[in-house]
Copies of this chain bind each other. A is one copy, B any other.
């Protein structure tokens, strides 16, 4: 076996394999974002990229693993939207803007958000190392919370619990809204109430934490 020859081939194969993975994910993402998750099957994805359904199983163990790969893409995108906000000087303003960003991300990318925070499917079989993207996003939040404490805006509590509390508060609206659980409010008032509730949450944190 000629080492330099086969090594080149191995590298190319690896590259081609990764390209194929991305091709599948691109096709899947396009379909999911356009038609919603419930209406997209492995066969649809295979058709879209002009391969047989069985081929997809050479690159992803099952549908959940494919969904999880998209879940990771979602986190990359979300963290990308959080990063510019880190430049804001006032830590509390930074926190509020991150909350607003979270909600905006959810409204603009409902399918991705679903995958990241609501759907069961992608979390079914999961290792520790798969959490790096989620960790990164939550890390940004804890850091801002710590800054708020350091600046004396918040009292000093356990940072993790505080961050968790804030995340939950923001996530709550978002999830209820996305899953159409606000039927008790008349359609027209809904956006207003959401907005008021968000502002009230920020105000309450400001005063009470």
Contact = CB atoms under 8 A, between A and B. Distances in A.
Contacts of A160: 185, 189, 193
The residue among A117, A123, A181, A205 with the most chain B CB atoms within 10 A of its own CB is A181
Given A205-B208, A208-B204, A173 B164 contact: yes
Interface residues of A, number: 50
Contact of A164 (B128, B165, B194, B208): B194
A56 B176 CA distance: 30
Given A131-B184, A171-B175, A204-B204, 15 more contacts: A126-B180, A134-B181, A135-B184, A138-B184, A158-B193, A158-B196, A164-B173, A164-B196, A165-B197, A167-B172, A168-B173, A169-B169, A172-B175, A207-B208, A208-B208
Identify the 4 closest CB pairs spanning chains A and B, nearest first. A208-B208, A168-B172, A172-B172, A161-B196
